[in-house]
Amino acid sequence: NAGVMQNPRHLVRRRGQEARLRCSPMKGHSHVYWYRQLPEEGLKFMVYLQKENIIDESGMPKERFSAEFPKEGPSILRIQQVVRGDSAAYFCASSPPMQGVNTEAFFGQGTRLTVV
């Protein structure tokens, strides 16, 4: 059973370009979370999605950022018109449908976005 797969691992974009980050959850997992890690900081929650639904986007910047998790295919985090401050590591985590105190979220290896 493959783990959470994120691609690309490294992404370089010029200011003003679009960045698309992909996350394939573990097999059987229908819950996906995106987190951002700024240099020398902890992870900050961005968005929580289930298949075809955004459950909680309270951590998403209001502009330029969007996320989706379609019925088929990976979850996509999209950043339009990137700025230098978007440079960070973006981590995806997934968890299974049944939620409870023992539910564990599994993390991918992250995408490191550099805006030049």
Partner 1 sequence: GDSVTQMEGPVTLSEEAFLTINCTYTATGYPSLFWYVQYPGEGLQLLLKATKADDKGSNKGFEATYRKETTSFHLEKGSVQVSDSAVYFCALRSNFGNEKLTFGTGTRLTIIP
Q: In the numeric block, which tokens belong to residue 55?
A: 């459950």
Q: Decide whether 18 or 56 has the Cβ nearer to partner 1.
A: 56
Tell which residue, 82, 60, 80, 73, has the closest CA to residue 22.
73
Residue 53 within binding range of partner 1, rule CB under 8 A:
no
Does position 69 interact with partner 1 (CB under 8 A)? The reply is: no
CB 4 within 8 A of CB 108: yes
Those residues whose C-beta lies under 8 Å from the C-beta of residue 82, and which sit 6 or more positions away, are 13, 14, 15, 16, 17, 18, 19, 64, 113, 115
- Which of 17, 53, 80, 103 touches partner 1 (CB under 8 A)? 103
Of the listed pieces 13-21, 30-38, 68-76, 78-86, which binds partner 1 according to CB under 8 A?
30-38
- Chain contacts with partner 1 (rule: CB under 8 A): 4, 6, 31, 33, 35, 41-45, 48, 56, 59, 91, 93, 95, 99, 101-110
